[in-house]
Amino acid sequence: MGAGIAQLACSSGARTLLWDPDAAALSSGVERVRAGLEKAASRGVIPADSVSEAFSRLGPGKGFSDLAACDLVIEAAPESAELKARIFRELSEIVSPECVLATNTSSLPITQVAAAASHPERVVGMHFFNPAPVMKLVEVIAGAQSSERAVAVARAAGEAMGKRVILAADGPGFLVNRCGRPFGMEALRLVQEGLSTFEQVDRVCRMAGGFRMGPFELMDLVGVDVGYDVQRSFWELSFGEPRWRPSPISARMVAAGRHGRKAGRGYYEYPPGRPEDPKPPEAGGGDGLVVIAGDLPVAVELREAASQAGWTVSEEAVEDVPWLIVDCAPADGDLDAFTGEPDNGGGAPLQGGPQVLLCADGSLSALDPAGAAAGFHALPPFDGARLVELTRTATTSSAAAERAERFFASLGKQPEWVRDAPGLLLGRIVCQLVNEAAFALREGVGSAEDVDAGMTLGLNHPRGPLAWADAIGLDHVVAVLDALWEETREERYRACPDLRTRVWAGRLGARTGEGFFAY
């Protein structure tokens, strides 16, 4: 990481000193910078004739004393509070009073690190993402005493390096790692509850959600042991926030030495790693009447996809017996987002054919107790999904299950049968991502724009959670969270108050013109 940051610095035009107390590590770091510059030139990221000039601005330091003339010092030492405290204590005695001191920590509170410096107001966080020369984001974090000038210097340095700089307040995980917590933690919870296997969670996230990697293969890449340390850090720093409770699965994996790729075995064995995803069926072949009820965005997108696949589509019950009813309307007794009155989807319960219910405001078991319906869950944008989750209960009829599977296959989606729960697998993970982002926004950790930029540029998520919530519909998100709370009574599923107030105000997202963003 240190070599990557040094590469960015000298490429930006700054005279750069690289120092490490280990002479071999320092020499290796300098060579890594040279190799990194040459690789960047070969890929067309920087001009080929700029490599020598950039490298000429880099020099190895001989000790802390060489840093005396620096305007900015970025520390990228291992994540040890004691080590960083010692470094900042010594640096404070060497550099000028105007020098800004930045730490690249990803987990330690900036305020804690700054406390060791003689002038804590000049200490900030500059959190680069690995690999630093490739990732497009830098997170600048202000501690409790960080001055506006220190934040401005750090921001200017990040922008000079060609990065999108986002500002975050000090706290567990800052902005990006905090908002990304549910991706792994909710996946672990699904497996812990016996609702899925880790392979299935990963497959659903990739094929239905568009994530480049599933949460378990990502844990293997980062290091299961590293992730577990972060879990415990979040838990301790938050004084026991239920959303951040460490997973016993992670503890067992670490105890067994299954630390991920670096150990040859984590949730997968290496080689071969995770299995290949199945190829979705070709779309088309619809040959009957399908009723798709409801006004949620997913219902609108389903009607369009079904029409393109050849089905005759209606939004409400008709005299003819439909081949399948896909019910995406709120369950009886739910409140309409605008009027606050009970909403049963706009009329009498749909009847006349096999049914498949959207498992948003409840599990299938809760929505259709002892009934014959099958269940499903999907999220916008539906056209980009390659998989749809289906579920059934002991009383689901074979006709409902078979027709649900055939219907979604006709839309070009791989049907995946999962255990019953509100939101099924992907919905539960994504709604918790939205919920965490909403809490971070409410607490002033960062702006909505920075939240979404951080998740897409820093964690390679397919879309930012707040823009995704606007596409899904905030009422849909709250329905899933409330159903999880109702059926589990776990504090981790309490919806952020700001989500609920937006729904009450009719600010449901893109379809109403305003949610977290304006449209």
Average pLDDT over residues 235-261: 97
User: Do the Cβ atoms of 185 and 247 come closer than 8 Å?
Assistant: yes
Residue 102, number of CB atoms within 10 A of its CB:
27
pLDDT of residue 332: 57
More confidently predicted of 316 and 442: 442
Task: Give dist(CA 164, CA 142) in Å, integer.
Answer: 17
pLDDT band at 309 (very low <50, low <70, confident <90, very high): very high
Q: What is the mean pLDDT of residues 351-360?
A: 91
**Beta bridge mates, 324:** 290
pLDDT at 349 over 60: no
Residue 304 is among the residues annotated as catalytic for this protein: no
Q: Report residue 348's pLDDT band, with 50, 70 and 90 as the boundaries.
A: very low
Burial (CB < 10 A; 0-12, 13-18, 19+), residue 170, is buried
Catalytic residue (one of 139, 186, 389, 416): 139
Q: What confidence score (pLDDT) does residue 377 get?
A: 98
97-121 pLDDT, tens digit per residue, is 999 999 999 889 999 999 999 999 9
Q: Binning pLDDT at 50, 70 and 90, where does residue 319 land?
A: confident
Per-residue confidence (pLDDT) for residue 62, from 0 to 100: 87
Alpha carbon separation from 250 to 46, 226, 242, 258, 260 (Å, rounded): 41, 10, 16, 9, 11
Determine contact, residues 228/254, Cβ cutoff 8 Å.
yes
List of domains in the chain: 2-170 (3.40.50.720), 176-276+425-519 (1.10.1040.50), 289-417 (3.40.50.720)
Across the chain, mean pLDDT equals: 94
Prior bond to 330 cis, omega within 30? no
Cα 331-295-292 angle, rounded to 5 deg: 80
Q: Which residues contact 340 (CB under 8 A, 6 or more apart)?
A: 504
Give dist(CA 183, CA 48) in Å, integer.
39
Can you state the percent helix, strand and coil of the chain, rounding each to 5?
Answer: 45, 15, 40
Q: Which letter does DSSP use for residue 316 in this model?
A: S
Would the pTM of this model clear 0.85, i.e. be above it? Answer: yes
Q: Is the pLDDT of residue 334 over 80?
A: no
How far is it, in rounded angstroms, from Cα 111 to Cα 93?
19
> What residue type is assigned to position 305 of the chain?
A
Average pLDDT over residues 333-361: 62
Q: Would you place residue 220 in the very low, low, confident or very high pLDDT band (cuts 50, 70, 90)?
A: very high
**Exposed / middle / buried, residue 137 (Cβ in 10 Å: 0-12, 13-18, 19+):** buried
| CA gap 76, 24 in Å, rounded | 17
